[in-house]
Amino acid sequence: MRVLVFNAGSSSLKFGLFEGDRQIFKGSFDRFREGGCDLSFEGAEGPLEQGRAPHADLAAAIAAVPGVLAERGLDAIDAVGHRLAHGGTEFTGPARIDDAVIARIEALTPLAPLHNPAMLEGLRLASRIWPDLPQVAVFDTSFHLTNPARATTYAVPPAWRDAGLRRFGFHGTSHKYVAQRAAEALGQPLSDLRIISVHLGNGASACAVQYGASIDSSMGMTPLEGLVMGTRSGDIDPGAFGFLQRHLGLGVAAIEAALYSDSGLKALTGSPDMRDVEDRAAQGDAEAQLAINLYAYRVRKYLGSYAAAMGGVDAVVFTGGIGQNSASMRRRICDGLSFMGLMLDDDRNRAPDLSDRAAPQIQAQGSRVAIVVTETAEQLMIAREVRAMLQRPALAPRPVPVAVSGRHVHLSEASVQALFGPNYRLTEGAPLRQPGNWVAEERVTLEGPKGRLERVAILGPLRPRTQIEVSRTDSFALGIDAPVRNSGQLEGTPKVRLIGPAGTIETDGLIVAARHIHTNPAEAEAMGLSDGEMVEIEVQGADGRGLVFSHTLVRVVPGTVTEMHIDTDEANAAGISGHVDGAVVPHVQAVPRA
């Protein structure tokens, strides 16, 4: 499939043509102004042309693309993908464009007033030029919709939150790509890794990617929050708005414009370009030296905070113009982080080879944390998402039985002996729906700093490592912050006390189990599902309330029975009591989500 990808802005247009993962053409029209713009074209083998073009705005530039491609025999296109900055909370994945989707994107304009309008214009123009081709929007924010409420919620009045004030995160397409690329380079499944992705360019952000899912991002409701950027401030006290209004007479619009366009490196040094800043710092410029120290310090703070949020880190990945090109900035950021097992190798760091989308490792021998450098490929990621969406098999309308899992534990052999006595064997009780699984007749007590949970069920068979699954409400009853994890992902989980009739143990492994679907290869194929895929399940409760459970993991294992597992909190939210079936639904449903 040949996919044309557009990234439209108010002053530029970037586009790429992909055949599978191979980029066969790359073009840009930059700095629109009266009289024309700059152009740059590059083929699969390298640069083709640079110079000037007579296109003074986005409409003229997009209208010129068919001719540019036709001149090179590349006008055979199967689909068009578009980067959209903001998809709010409802666009959890790519969306095929129709009038209803456009209207929903337009409604999100107040959340991204500097980005979405130009991107929407580009989408409309492309739809008119290629009316018979599927047009697909891919959203920067979608990757971050797995962020938990504690990462997305501002502590502000309810009316503000009801109006849509919350953290979203951006650069999602970049963070998703580099996390996947780093996992490939490390030779490990992304689902086993805790990665901090650091995108440093004119726009800059950090993202905590825990076992394949974004759990936090430095950008917030807008792309202003977080790291210092080329012309954007990054984190700033909200009280600055009142101060500037009282002392300088500035209105909200003027302050906001300055924070977007006249802050960051530009405000500190006069130049938004880190290359200029580093050159001036080397010549003794004190302002440039401060800017570099501030820039690195802010990134280092986020690295530390995200390592804490994930209970550790396996890899840090640098990307973006600064992240991939500035060896000195990588060094400044990494210095002082040896306490968390992160150590840089100076020789590897000086000139990593990034050709052919390489992702070299630059950590020192003995470093417990891998350090990876790679060039981001947002257009490639968009092409992949478009291709995956259009080639996804149709979902067969099969019901998915929903099982509500109460609090329970999976014990190891050592834990059984410690809790019930030497050579003790659990008594198999009632069988569970999944073949070979059962509920033991014995029970244990869980104890935390706040309280106890009595008569907690034990599920068999035994496991190599003890795992304790509770609901979010249960974790508050215990007084322990249990993270949401997939079963088996127990690194960095908190400890809880287990009390049995013969003894007591303190063990880690306490989690809130992420919702998931068990199924077998035959039924997965019939439903168009694959192992490791994230899907959405619509469930109607007995009281008529309905919810779509997003980001539901599919586990395909031979011999299993199709069944969705949720916890008691999720069941209560959906009004579920007794037997209920769910249904796999397409992406991007305009209905409430849990």
By annotation, the residues acting in catalysis are: 140
**Residue 202 assigned to a binding site:** yes
> In what side-by-side order are the strands of the sheet with 46-53?
46-53, 36-43, 22-33, 12-19, 2-8, 79-84, 135-139, 95-96
Burial of 473 by CB count in 10 Å (0-12 exposed, 13-18 middle, 19+ buried)? middle
Find out whether 26 is annotated in a ligand binding site.
Answer: no
Token couple for 251: 């209105």
Distance CA 93, CA 392 (A): 13
Is 83 annotated in a binding site? The answer is yes
**CA angle in degrees (0–180, nearest 5) for 247-251-252:** 120
Identify the CA nearest to 204 among candidates 149, 145, 263, 285.
263
User: To the nearest 5 percent, what fractions of the chain are helix, strand and coil?
Assistant: 35, 30, 40
Gap between the Cα atoms of 42 and 50, Å rounded = 9
Half-sphere exposure of 483 (CA within 13 A, CB side): 22
Q: Is 389 annotated as a binding residue?
A: no
d(CA 17, CA 418): 61
Dist. CA 314–CA 330, nearest whole Å:
17
203 is in an annotated binding site: yes
Q: Are 458 and 430 in contact (CB under 8 A)?
A: no
Which spans in 392-520 are helix H? 413-420, 472-478
Element containing residue 355 per DSSP (H, E): none
Is residue 380 a known part of a binding site?
A: no
Confirm or deny that 199 is annotated as ligand binding: yes
Annotated binding site: 7, 14, 83, 199-203, 273-275, 378
Binding residues for Mg(2+): 7, 378
Residue set of the binding site for ATP: 14, 199-203, 273-275
